[in-house]
């Protein structure tokens, strides 16, 4: 496995890959790797000749400086995991390498960045677009892989790719959520939970799944309220939002259509903010 820390180093290796007509799969991460990330790497390995993983905690997508400071990470552990996977190159730049000067670009996402996460994390998706566009321009992969846990982010990246970067010809691949045994969606933030909070966290997916399957008889508003009330019964959990949205527009629906509607949630477990989503079937 090759480790590159600068764009110059990375480009030197990628030129050789492209010269050999190898297809490149790309998995962007912020480190603190877990089985969810590794599943993306496996998907890339199955569909490409060559897999590249990036590790970079992007400061421009954190609207809360304390959240950035607390974000978990251990490069040694991450590299040990990647050595055991089918990762050919890992790109680990520092902030100055990715932002030699302030990035003042503002992206227009036609409103899909204003709801849910965008409503509660101002500027978050613009920061995501800044770093993803930079990485896409550097790596120029054939395919890029993202987890469905970040449901809204996948929609944002699809929009970014089609609207702002069509000439790169990148296919965006959305992969299924990988869950713990109790249903908790795998996330780097899970390691910040206390023992008590970790036990409570498993309730989030259980409740979302229950109402995702038994939604009939409720209006959209009633369903949102029931989910929030049931989650909030746990002493460690506090709902920030529950939304029931159209899979394409991400707007709150007036009518639930199975197969085209998703329940999305953001919940504080103690001081740790967790997100999850369940497709209504």
Query: Phi, psi (5° rounding) for residue 56?
Result: -160, 120
CA distance 149 to 236: 21
Burial annotation 235-245 (CB, 10 A radius, 16+ → b, else e): ebbebbbbbbb
Query: Helix, strand or coil for residue 92?
Result: coil
CA distance 86 to 68: 29
Write down the catalytic residue from 24, 25, 32, 37: 37
**Element (DSSP H or E) covering residue 223:** helix 220-232
124-139 and 151-164 helices cross at what angle (nearest 10)? 60
By residue count, the chain amounts to 281
CA distance 187 to 30: 11
Q: Are 127 and 62 in contact (CB under 8 A)?
A: yes
Catalytic annotation on 37?
A: yes
Start-to-end CA distance of the chain, whole Å, equals 41
Q: Are 112 and 155 in contact (CB under 8 A)?
A: yes
Task: Report the relative pairing of strands 272-279 and 143-147 from DSSP bridges.
Answer: unpaired
Residues identified as active-site: 37
């Amino acid at each position: 496995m090759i480790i590159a820390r600068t764009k110059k180093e990375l480009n030197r290796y990628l030129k050789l890959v492209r010269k050999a007509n190898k297809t490149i799969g790309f998995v962007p991460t912020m480190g603190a790797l877990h089985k969810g990330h590794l599943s993306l790497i496996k998907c890339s390995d199955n569909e490409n000749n060559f897999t590249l993983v990036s590790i970079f905690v992007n400061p421009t997508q954190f609207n809360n400086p304390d959240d950035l400071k607390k974000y978990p990470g251990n490069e040694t552990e991450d590299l040990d995991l990647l050595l055991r996977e089918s990762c050919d190159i890992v790109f680990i730049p520092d902030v100055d390498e990715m932002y030699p000067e302030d990035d003042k670009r503002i992206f227009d996402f036609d409103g899909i960045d204003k709801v849910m996460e965008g409503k509660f994390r101002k500027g978050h998706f613009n920061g995501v677009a800044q770093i993803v566009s930079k990485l896409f321009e550097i790596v120029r992969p054939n395919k890029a892989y993202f987890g469905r846990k970040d449901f809204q982010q996948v929609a944002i990246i699809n929009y970014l790719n089609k609207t702002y970067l069509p000439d790169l010809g990148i296919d965006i691949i959305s992969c299924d959520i990988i869950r713990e045994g109790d249903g908790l969606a795998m996330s780097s933030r899970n390691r910040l939970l206390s023992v008590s909070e970790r036990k409570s966290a498993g309730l989030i997916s259980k409740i979302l799944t229950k109402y995702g399957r038994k939604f009939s008889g409720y209006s959209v508003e009633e369903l949102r309220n029931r989910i929030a009330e049931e989650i909030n019964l746990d002493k460690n959990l506090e709902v920030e939002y529950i939304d029931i949205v159209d899979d394409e527009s991400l707007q709150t629906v007036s009518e639930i259509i199975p197969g085209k509607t998703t329940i999305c949630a953001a919940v504080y477990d103690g001081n740790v903010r967790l997100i999850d989503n369940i497709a209504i079937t």
